[in-house]
């Protein structure tokens, strides 16, 4: 394709490598380089993805339309700022930043230059979540469970910023009112940060969400359950199935029975879909599904959960 989008990936550790490989397979994208201060890592990912390795972003070629930034969360503002100032479109991994102030500055820079800013809340591109979102209209209660084995990754942040923020973002997208109150509890187990956490989010319309995240469990469990006046829905992310139960009138019966359905969700790779959506937004100048303000809203709730947990643990 003549008019290819010129893209680079900044930070090619565990997740950035996948960004680079996916861009390298897109017919309408020219992956012009990967950047990582770890020269050996940059070289090996560049060799795999068929592009040039750089150890500094300043060395990238002049023509650059968009970047994925996949560096540790604490570096997001510093790494993203020069691109956003130049109007280069950015797909920034989640969470948007480590602090509210840094997140707000990132949004301000994007809005100032008009650059598209998409935050990597990958689960919005999970086919099961998309199918669930189509069926949830007026949730009264949501329950999200995300438990996994200890991987040793992302130990610079706690389980709230690492895992729970995915469900916080999904919940904010499904609920119909702003948050009124947050209560949370959690504890460190294997790292110096919180490894297992529970939060109760109360919304202004009276709806409630209960969220549990653990990175020290013995098996992988990923569930969202919801009830609303029209019925009960349950998404199993691992099995990629949705179970639905709803009242059904039976002729002659005193009261309705409960009908049950199990829906298998088409298997898609969420990261491929997320990057395709970003490229589409850049090409069409459409606003992304998960823009900077959406990422900031999820961060703000995550910060409230973290401060609730700290208050519960106390100074000792």
User: Which of the ranges 12-20, 98-106, 107-115, 306-314 carries the binding residues for ligand NAD, by CB under 6 A?
Assistant: 12-20
Taking CB under 6 A as the criterion, the residue among 108, 140, 153, 181 binding ligand NAD is 153
Site string for ligand NAD, 103-132 (x = CB under 6 A): -----------------x-x----------
Looking at the Cβ atoms of 15 and 207, the one nearer to ligand NAD is: 15
Q: How far separated are the first and last CA of the chain, in Å rounded?
A: 61
Residue 306 interacts with ligand NAD (CB under 6 A): yes or no: no
| Alpha-carbon gap, residue 243 to 14, rounded angstroms | 33
Residue 215 interacts with ligand NAD (CB under 6 A): yes or no: no
| Alpha-carbon gap, residue 312 to 309, rounded angstroms | 5
Counting Cα atoms < 13 Å in the Cβ hemisphere of 171 gives 34
Q: In the complex, what is the shortest distance from the CB of residue 115 to ligand NAD, in angstroms, rounded to a whole number?
A: 18
Three-class secondary structure of residue 30 per DSSP: strand
The H-assigned helical ranges of 50-163 are 76-85, 100-113, 127-135, 159
Q: In the complex, what is the shortest distance from the CB of residue 255 to ligand NAD, in angstroms, rounded to a whole number?
A: 44
Residues 82-101 that bind ligand NAD (CB under 6 A): 93-94
Residue 71 interacts with ligand NAD (CB under 6 A): yes or no: yes
Q: Which of 226, 231, 191 is nearest to 211 (CA)?
A: 226
Residues 33-52 that bind ligand NAD (CB under 6 A): 35-38, 41
Residue 11 interacts with ligand NAD (CB under 6 A): yes or no: yes
- In 3-state terms, the chain is what percent helix, strand and coil (to 5)? 40, 30, 35
CB 208 within 8 A of CB 200: yes
Which residues are at the interface with ligand NAD (CB under 6 A)?
10-16, 35-38, 41, 70-73, 75, 79, 93-94, 120, 122, 153-154
């Amino acid at each position: 394709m003549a008019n290819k989008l010129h893209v680079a990936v900044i930070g090619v550790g565990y997740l950035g490598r996948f960004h680079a490989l996916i861009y390298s397979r897109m017919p309408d994208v020219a992956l012009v380089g990967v950047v990582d201060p770890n020269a050996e890592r940059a070289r090996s990912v560049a060799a795999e993805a068929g592009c040039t390795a750089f150890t500094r972003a300043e060395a990238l070629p002049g023509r650059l339309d968009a970047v994925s930034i996949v560096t540790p969360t604490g570096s997001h503002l510093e790494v993203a700022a020069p691109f956003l100032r130049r109007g280069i479109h950015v797909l920034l991994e989640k969470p948007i930043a480590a602090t509210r102030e840094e997140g707000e500055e990132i949004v301000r820079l994007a809005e100032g230059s008009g650059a598209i800013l998409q935050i990597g809340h990958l689960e919005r591109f999970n086919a099961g979540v998309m199918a669930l979102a189509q069926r949830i209209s007026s949730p009264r209660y949501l329950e999200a469970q995300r438990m996994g084995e200890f991987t040793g990754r992302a130990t610079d942040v706690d389980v709230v910023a690492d895992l729970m923020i995915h469900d916080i973002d999904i919940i904010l997208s499904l609920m119909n009112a702003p948050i009124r109150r947050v209560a949370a509890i959690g504890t460190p187990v294997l790292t110096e940060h919180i490894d297992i956490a529970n939060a109760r989010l109360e919304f202004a319309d009276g709806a409630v969400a209960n969220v549990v995240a653990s990175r020290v469990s013995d098996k992988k469990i990923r569930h969202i359950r919801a009830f609303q006046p029209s019925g009960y829905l349950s998404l199993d992310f691992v099995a990629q199935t949705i179970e639905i139960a709803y009242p059904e009138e039976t002729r002659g019966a005193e009261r309705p029975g409960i009908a049950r359905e199990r829906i298998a969700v088409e298997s898609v790779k969420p990261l491929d879909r997320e990057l395709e959506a970003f490229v589409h937004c850049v090409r069409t100048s459409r606003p992304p599904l998960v823009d900077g303000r959406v990422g900031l809203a999820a961060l703000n709730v995550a910060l409230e959960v973290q401060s609730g947990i700290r208050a519960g643990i106390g100074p000792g």
